[in-house]
Chain A
Amino acid sequence: MRKRISHGARSAMFAPLEQTGRVEAVTRRLVDAITLGLLADEEQLPSEAELAGQFGVSTVTVREALVALRQQGLVETRRGRTGGSFVRAPRDRAAASWRKRLRTLTLTDLRDLGDHYLAVAGAAARMAAERSSAEDVERLELATEDLRGATGTEASRAERHFHLEVAAAAQSPRLTHQEVRLQGELGALLWLPTGDAGTHADAHAEHCAITEAIAQADGELARRLTEEHILAAIDRLAELHLGLLEP
């Protein structure tokens, strides 16, 4: 596939590195907060100076992040006495349905779903360690690398694909079916494209460790690492859910 590079991406490519990282990090945080509904539609954002203070970055960085958000249509800036930056919640149905699902979910159900997923994915990881040939390990390594530097939907797809490959490496069609089913039920939420670079970097390191344990045929380690990886995602989801409930 030929990749087209937009003008925006082009100029970002040549911006000083550290600044790029910070602008992107601030942008991602705000995109998350808006798409997940943590910031409500029409809500006024704090001033540039306040945001800069909260994020611990310069006002220039915040200003650039707001430009990016305006370009994505997630923020509207009004001038005048009642002016400022206002949230424009995305109208796209996918984001709206996540918000709805996250809000309506109870921690009780979340824990139960999490337990089920933990049982399936943990067992799959242990069996994958017992049964993976060199060829399977190679495919797991490729799937692991997909998450390196990935963000947004690309990252959530890489997450789901990695766990699918582990279930397949376990040589179990039934566990693979369960994995696919649970991904359908939970995965879209569990691996939400939150765009948080820190989370994805951790997840990449975790996938690397799981793959290594499978390559070493260490079933117990592969299972434990997988369970920890999923528990962390469940916890994050519980936090997001609680955040949405706040008045």
Chain B
Amino acid sequence: MKDTRTLVGDDVADHVSALVEGVFTGLDPVLSQADALFAGADRSGVRAEQLERLRPEVLRTLGGHDGLVVGAGFIAAPNVLADQEFGFEWWTRTDGGRPTQLFISLDPASDHFLDYTRQSWFTVPRDTGHRHITGPYVDYLCTDEYTMTFTVPVRANGAFAGVVGADVFVREFEHLLQPRLRGLPGRAALVNAQGRVIVSNSARQPTGSLVRALDIPAWWGSGAEPVAEPGTTLRRCGDAPIALLVSGNRS
């Protein structure tokens, strides 16, 4: 990893990186369990009901990180399960309450079916083979809230079999990071690879808005090397797909 220690906001970047790695690390046991499930399946494959075996690890992930993770589980790729086209084992926990299992329509003919295979949290790990953070986005499938979804691809028999993932509310992310952003000189925002603001210390650059002064997607696409110009610094937070943008005076 590059040494970026001469840039403003080291502390924030390190903290964001640690938070993100913490959420992904929390998914490791679910991922291992999913790998074991597919590896141990007989020739007919994994049946939907067998996804229950992931439950203890899913619930443990859900309980971790001081309540930061509000949803977790595994979502199968279409036709990977032996007995149904779609399937998942996903649990949510909100307001400190008991975990509840998510049920949504899995019947493509149903009036209420929403095709999850179009969601970035599914398509990006499928297409790149790498972990991904989707959002901030309005998660109308599950949390109904402004959410960030962390997903890691699961492979079985050499092919993409689905994702394990964790949901984090954007407002909780803000709770954790706003005090640190407030400590920075000038206007500061954490943005995703599309240039969408996750948290900012300025009312002029609210959560969910796009940074248009800089072409963040292009910067990201060309390697996301740290930029330090008079009045502006832009740098990636560790290996996370999140950048810290600090500019001029806060206003």
The interface of chain A, by Cβ under 8 A from chain B, is 1, 130-131, 133-135, 139, 142, 153, 156-157, 161, 164, 167-168, 170-173, 176-177, 180
Contact present for A168 and B140 (CB under 8 Å): yes
Query: In the complex, which residues 10-33 of chain B have their Cβ closer than 8 Å to any Cβ of chain A?
Result: none
Contact present for B138 and A142 (CB under 8 Å): no
Contact present for A164 and B140 (CB under 8 Å): yes
- Contact partner of A161 (CB less than 8 A), chosen from B78, B114, B210, is B114
- Is B9 an interface residue, CB under 8 A from the partner? no
- Is B194 an interface residue, CB under 8 A from the partner? yes
In the complex, A164→B108 CA distance in Å? 17
- Is B144 an interface residue, CB under 8 A from the partner? yes
What total of A-B pairs shows CB separation below 8 Å?
Answer: 49
> What size tier do the contact residues of chain B reach?
20 to 34
A133-B196, A134-B217 known; A172-B108 Cβ under 8 A: no
The interface of chain B, by Cβ under 8 A from chain A, is 78, 85, 108, 111, 113-114, 118, 120, 136-138, 140, 144-146, 194-196, 208-210, 217
- Contact partner of A180 (CB less than 8 A), chosen from B78, B108, B140, is B140
A134-B217, A161-B114 known; A173-B108 Cβ under 8 A: no
Most buried by A among B111, B138, B140, B210: B138
A1-B85, A168-B138 known; A133-B118 Cβ under 8 A: no
Contact present for B140 and A133 (CB under 8 Å): no
When distances are taken between beta carbons in the complex, the residues of chain A under 8 Å from B144 are 173, 176-177
Contact present for B118 and A171 (CB under 8 Å): no
- Contact partner of A131 (CB less than 8 A), chosen from B85, B114, B120, B209, is B209
- Could you list 12 examples of A-B contacts with CB < 8 Å? A1-B85, A131-B196, A131-B209, A133-B196, A134-B194, A135-B194, A142-B118, A161-B114, A170-B138, A171-B209, A172-B208, A180-B140
A1-B108, A139-B118, A171-B208 known; A133-B195 Cβ under 8 A: yes
When distances are taken between beta carbons in the complex, the residues of chain B under 8 Å from A164 are 140
Contact present for B208 and A131 (CB under 8 Å): yes
In the complex, what's the smallest C-beta–C-beta distance from B154 to chain A, in angstroms?
Answer: 21
Can you name 6 extra interface pairs (CB under 8 A) apart from A168-B138, A176-B138?
A: A1-B108, A133-B195, A133-B210, A171-B146, A171-B209, A180-B140
Residue of B nearest to A193 (CB): B111
When distances are taken between beta carbons in the complex, the residues of chain A under 8 Å from B113 are 157
